[in-house]
Amino acid sequence: MATRSHRVYELFVLNIALQLFDAVATYEGLSVGWREGNPILVSAFAYFGVLPALLMFKAKACGLLFLLNRNPEHDLVAPALYVLASVYTAMSLVPWVWKFSGLLITTI
């Protein structure tokens, strides 16, 4: 059985991977002409540019994940990381994979 700190570390790595996936998928999706669904991020794109805004938002998200990972024994850290991974899976991974697989199918 995994210790709590090991489980938190695994969730931390999963969340970092989801953040990186979201950044790359957003950048690539925008490059093929798709729109971003997050209105806050869309506003930041207009103000800072796409790449600087993505880097800024993802650096903030990864920094907050790092802070959660620093206290693995707290009772709320693992559930928070589970919720974040679930939200990013549902709101980023699934939609982007769906869109990119549709693009792949139409190009075959």
The boundaries of the domain holding residue 85 are: 4-107
Q: Which tens digit of pLDDT belongs to each residue from 52-108?
A: 999 999 999 999 999 999 999 999 999 999 999 999 999 999 999 999 999 889 888
Q: Using an 8 Å Cβ cutoff, are 98 and 27 in contact?
A: no
Domain count, the chain: 1
* Residue 4: pLDDT over 90: no
Collapse the DSSP code of 105 into the 3-class scheme (helix H, G, I; strand E, B; otherwise coil) and give the result.
Answer: helix
| Maximum CA extent, the chain | 49
Residue 3: per-residue pLDDT: 87
Residue 2: per-residue pLDDT: 65
